[in-house]
Amino acid sequence: MADTARRRARELVLKALYAESVGGRDPDEIVSAIIAAGSLSKRAYEFARALFLLVCQHRQWADEVISSLAENWDIERIALVDRSIMQMALVELREMPDVPVKVTLNEAIELAKEYSTGESAAFINGILDSFVKSSPQGPAG
């Protein structure tokens, strides 16, 4: 898949979420250290910054969704990278309605393939697909 500006932005958000989860640093510090240093266009930077801060703000909600949809999985046992990808996609689906659902889902799957495992990509796809099918607005494209 092509390396678009938003793809690069999502990669940086994933790295920022990971850093924030393991390092406990302030989100604004992480924006400066990781996202701002990512050589993004102004538009891609604003997208990445907004997505990262939204995930930080709505992480508990996303974890509750993941827990409810990941049958027989304790959320603490889900790999941090996989969990971060799902948090990012769930928040993007809910908080950024201008981004097409298919784009969000495809990007999450591609991130999982690149930064995690094939099994993770299938697992993430299943969770996100269940969320989209169960959301009040229904599946959208």
pLDDT of 21: 86
For residue 29, is it within any domain?
yes
Flag whether pLDDT at 29 surpasses 70: yes
The predicted model scores a pTM of 0.90
Tally of structural domains, the chain: 1
Q: Is residue 140 part of a domain?
A: no
pLDDT tens-digit readout, 77-105: 899 999 999 999 999 999 999 999 999 99
Domain presence at residue 139: no
35 Cβ contact list (under 8 Å, min separation 6): 9, 12, 13, 16, 45, 48, 49, 52
Question: Cα–Cα distance between 61 and 55 in angstroms, integer?
Answer: 9
- For residue 127, give its domain range: 5-134
Answer yes or no: is 81 within a domain. yes
Q: Is residue 2's pLDDT more than 70?
A: no
Is the pLDDT at 23 greater than 90? The verdict is no
The pLDDT of residue 141:
46
Whether 37 is covered by a domain: the verdict is yes
Better pLDDT: 76 or 105: 105
* Residue 140 pLDDT: 47
- pLDDT attached to residue 32: 84
CATH code for the domain of 87: 1.10.940.10
Report yes or no on 141 lying in a domain.
Answer: no
